[in-house]
Amino acid sequence: MSNSFKLDIVNPEKSFLSKEDVIEVVVPAFEGDMGFLKDHISIISFLKPGLLKVVDATTAEETYYVEDGIIEFKNNCLSVLTSNIFDIKKVDKNKVKDILTEAEKDSQNNDISDQARYLNDQKIEVLKSLTLN
């Protein structure tokens, strides 16, 4: 009996990733990091900036940076809709630094809401961790 489920990640530009043989996915949800295995209960949640980890049937682990979005798990299919995603192994470090610089600039704005400030702080924390690697 298979322990795998389907994963679809979509961003505004295209279908970013589609896999049928996923064993585990960990997403950075507002409630905290949320792990998914086959037969997880149906759920809809919001993403916060962070690292999305995917383990497939070959036990290979892939890690992606996501900024925001919505996830839905239903009928052994996890759908991730996000505005910004990239593979941390393939991304240009200068792109990460540019996004970090922009986020740090945004944090200086006193007119943003507490929620926007929280999300921006999360973004800065994750991006700083990526630039240190």
Residues 16, 46: one domain?
Answer: yes
Tell whether 98 and 81 lie within a shared domain. no
Q: Are residues 20 and 73 in the same domain?
A: yes
Which are the contacts of 105, defined by CB distance < 8 A and separation ≥ 6?
Answer: none
What is the pLDDT, as a whole number, of residue 52? 97
55 pLDDT tier (thresholds 50, 70, 90): very high
Contacts for 57 with CB less than 8 Å, ≥ 6 apart = 4, 21, 22, 23
Q: What is the CATH number of the domain that holds 49?
A: 2.60.15.10
DSSP code for 49: S
Residue 71 has pLDDT above 70, yes or no: yes
Q: How many CB atoms lie within 10 A of CB 105?
A: 10
Q: Do 62 and 90 form a contact (C-beta atoms < 8 A)?
A: no
Is the pLDDT at 58 greater than 60? The verdict is yes
Range of the domain at 53: 5-87
Model pLDDT for residues 75-110, shown as the tens digit of each residue = 999 999 999 899 988 888 888 888 888 888 888 888
Q: Residue 91: what pLDDT?
A: 83
Look at residue 107 in the predicted model and tell me its pLDDT.
83
CA-based diameter of the chain, in Å?
54
Nearest to 80 by CA among 25, 9, 28, 27: 9
The answer on pLDDT for 57 being more than 80 is yes
Task: List the one residue out of 130, 71, 69 whose CA is nearest residue 99.
Answer: 130
pLDDT per residue as tens digits for the range 14-35: 899 999 999 999 999 988 999 9
Considering its fold, how many domains does the chain have in total? 2
63: pLDDT confidence band, cut at 50, 70 and 90? very high
**70 and 124 fall within a common domain:** no
Same domain, 46 and 68: yes
**CA–CA distance, 38 with 118 (Å, rounded to integer):** 31
* pLDDT (0 to 100) of residue 45: 96
Cβ-contact 35, 53 below 8 angstroms: no
